[in-house]
Amino acid sequence: MKNEIIIAGFDGQGVLSMGKILAYSALFEGKEVTWMPSYGPEQRGGTANVTVIVSEDRISSPILNEYDTAVILNQPSLDKFEERIKPGGVLIYDSYGISTPPTRKDLTIYRIDAMDAAAEMDNVKAFNMIVLGGLLKVCPIVSLENVLKALRKTLPERHHHLIPLNEEALKRGHEIIYHVE
Amino acid sequence: MADKNDIILMKGNEAIAHAAIRCGCDGFFGYPITPQSEILETLALEKPWETTGMVVLQAESEVASINMVYGGGATGKRVMTSSSSPGVALMQEGISYMACAEIPGLIVNVQRGGPGLGTIQPSQSDYIQCTRGGGNGDYNVIVLAPASVQEMADFVDLSFTLAFRYRTPVIMLSDGVIGQMMEKVVLPPFKPRRTEEEVRKECPWATVGRKNRKNNILTSLDFDPYNMERHNQDLQRKYKEIMQKEVRFEEEQTEDADYLIVAFGSAARISQKAIELCRKEGIKMGMLRPITLWPFPTERIKELSRKVKGIISIEINAGQMIFDIQNAVEGRVSVKHYGRMGGVVPTPDEIVNALKSNLINELG
C-alpha cells in the first residue's frame, strides 16, 4: 500500500512542517517515507508545497506527476494540482483560501474549514494540525499516537508544552472535515 | 547530537554532516550556497569541535575553502568542503592542484541549475566538469553519485577511504533533490578521528613536521617538463588502477530488459518509477545506475548493449553522460538522451513518454 500525497498552500501556513510531522509519524509506523519540499524563491511569500510518500515498500521517485491524495490550502495550489490527482483520488481543501471550489467528478472531495476553526481556537498556528487531523480522519495513514510521538520528535523541547494544544487541534480536524457531494 | 544508531529521518544534506562527524572527519571548510547550506548549518548546530575535535569553519569564499582542504589534506587529515555548482566551479583550480600534488580530500557538490549563477533548483549539469577533471591539466578525480539519503551518509566515509587509498580528491556529486529531501537513514557508527601517530603511519607522504627523514614536499609545480611528464605518467598509471578496481554500479531488472535506462543520482530514482510504469504496460525496461561516474562502468554497459534493443540516458542536463555510454556501446545499439535543464526536474511520466517516443517507437 502506497500513498502519494501533495500538501500545498501559502508559505507560512505550516505546509512543510505538516508534511514533516506526517513523515515522522509514518516512520514510527515502520513504513518507508520520503519528504520532498518544493524549495526556492517561490517560498518567500509565495506558494509552498511538499510531496510526502508513505509506503510499505521501497519508494522510487520522490518527484511525482500525479498524486493519490491532495491537501490544498489556497487557490493557486488548487489550480495547479487539481488536474494532477489520480482518478479516484482524494482531494481535501480548506475553504478559506479557495474562491473557485474543485470541479472534478472522479475524486472524493472533502472540505475542512480549518482556518475558521483555528480562529475559534484563538490559535492560527494550530491551522496545519487541524488540517492534518482532517486528513488522518479520511486517510488513516498513521495513528494519532504516532503523530504525537512525531510532534515530540520534531518540536524543540521548549515547545513541548504546546503538544496538548496540537492534540486538541488534530482532534478538532477529525471532527470538522466533511464530504462534499 | 543524533547519536542513536536507530533509524531516523533527515535531509540528504544533514546526513552528510552527521556522517562526516561520525567517520572521523578532521575538518570542514565551506561557504554557504543553496541547495547545500544545511551541511554547514548542521555542522554548526552539532558543534563537533566540542566532541570529536573536528574543525568546522565558514571560509571567506569557495576558493579559500578548497585551499584549506588542500592544506588540511597535505597534513594527512580527513578534510572536506561542500558547495553547489557555481561554488564548485570556483574550486576547480584548487582541485587540479590537489590532483597534481596527490592530496586527498572530499568535495561535495549538491548541484543546481546552470550555467552561471543559474537557479537554486536541482540539476545534474556538472557531470562533464566532474568526470573529466574540471580544472587544467590531465587528471581525473573519483566521482561518487548518491541516489538516496542513505547513500549521502554512506558515501562520506567511502570517499575518504578512496581519497586516502589513491591520494586523490574525491567528489560526491549530488543534487538539490537528494540534498533537500528527507528519507530514512541509518547513520554510520562512530569512528574516532585518527591520532597524530596514526596519521604519520598511514600517510608517510604527509607534511606533518620532519623527524629524522627527508622533507616531504607536496607541490603541483615543477620547472622541468621531463619531471612533470614522469609525474603525469605516474598519475595516469594510478588512474588506470582506479578504473580497474573502483567501478561501482547497481542494476535493476536488467535480466530480461529489452531496453536499458542509464541514470545516476536523482534521475535514477525518477527512472525507477518510470520503469515501474513501463513494466505495468508490458514494456521490459531495465536500468543501470552508475555509482561511480568516474571511473565509469564502461565494460558492463558494453556487455548489456549486446543484449538490449536500445539505451536511453536519463540525465537532468542537456546530455553529458550520453558520451560515456556511446563510448561503451561502440555503435552496437541506438543511444538516446532525455533530460530537463536549468533546474527543472523531469517527472516519471515525462520519462515514460520520452522512452516511448525517443526509443521504443523508433526501434520497434
Using a CB-CB cut-off of 8 Å, the residues of chain A touching B119 are 40
* Interchain contact, A34 vs B183, CB within 8 Å: yes
pLDDT the model gives residue A45: 62
- Residues with pLDDT less than 50, chain A: none
Whether the bond into B192 is cis, omega within 30 of 0:
no
Cα separation, A89 vs A121, whole angstroms: 31
Q: Which of B7, B9, B119 to mutate to test the interface with A (most CBs of A within 10 A)?
A: B9
For chain B, the 3-state helix, strand and coil shares in percent, each to the nearest 5, are: 45, 20, 40
Pick from B9, B180, B269: CB nearest A39: B180
In a domain, B357, yes or no: yes
Written as one letter, the residue type at A35 is W
The answer to whether B284 and B334 are in contact (CB under 8 A) is no
| Residue B110, domain extent | 7-199
Beta pairing, strands B79-83 & B105-111: parallel
Chain A stretch 10-39, residues whose beta carbon is closer than 8 A to a beta carbon of chain B: 20, 23-24, 27, 32-37, 39
Supply B48's cell numbers.
Answer: 563537533
Which DSSP state fits A121? T
* Interchain contact, B183 vs A24, CB within 8 Å: no
B176 touching chain A per CB within 8 A: yes
In a domain, B240, yes or no: no
Residues B189 and B253 in one domain: no
Q: What is the pLDDT along chain B (364 residues), one digit of tens a residue?
A: 444 457 799 999 999 999 999 999 999 999 999 999 999 999 999 999 999 999 999 999 999 999 999 999 999 999 999 999 999 999 999 999 999 999 999 999 999 999 999 999 999 999 999 999 999 999 999 999 999 999 999 999 999 999 999 999 999 999 999 999 999 999 999 999 999 999 999 999 999 998 788 999 999 999 999 999 999 999 999 999 999 999 999 999 999 999 999 999 999 999 999 999 999 999 999 999 999 999 999 999 999 999 999 999 999 999 999 999 999 999 999 999 999 999 999 999 999 999 999 888 877 5
| Residue A133, domain extent | 2-179
> Which residues is A13 bridged to in the sheet?
none
Pick from A23, A41, A60: CB nearest B269: A60
Q: Which of B161, B176, B199 is the endpoint of a domain?
A: B199
Residues B185 and B256 in one domain: no
Cα separation, B71 vs B97, whole angstroms: 11
The CATH number of the domain holding residue A106 is 3.40.920.10
Pick from B7, B183, B270: CB nearest A63: B270
Q: Which of A35, A38, A43, A61 to mutate to test the interface with B (most CBs of B within 10 A)?
A: A61
Is this complex scored with an ipTM above 0.90? yes
The CATH number of the domain holding residue B140 is 3.40.50.970
Residues B184 and B266 in one domain: no
The CATH number of the domain holding residue B321 is 3.40.50.920
Q: What is the DSSP string of B242-257?
A: HHHH---EEEES-TT-
| Helices B92-101, B62-74: inter-axial angle, 10-degree rounding | 10
In a domain, B134, yes or no: yes
Q: What's the domain count of chain B?
A: 2
Q: Which of B112, B273, B280, B340 to mutate to test the interface with A (most CBs of A within 10 A)?
A: B273
pLDDT the model gives residue A42: 56
* Interchain contact, B273 vs A60, CB within 8 Å: yes
N-to-C CA span, chain A: 27
Residues B46 and B187 in one domain: yes
Residues B154 and B260 in one domain: no
Q: What's the domain count of chain A?
A: 1
Which chain B residue lies closest to A30 (C-alpha atoms)?
B7
* Residue in the structure block whose three cell numbers are 554548526: B44
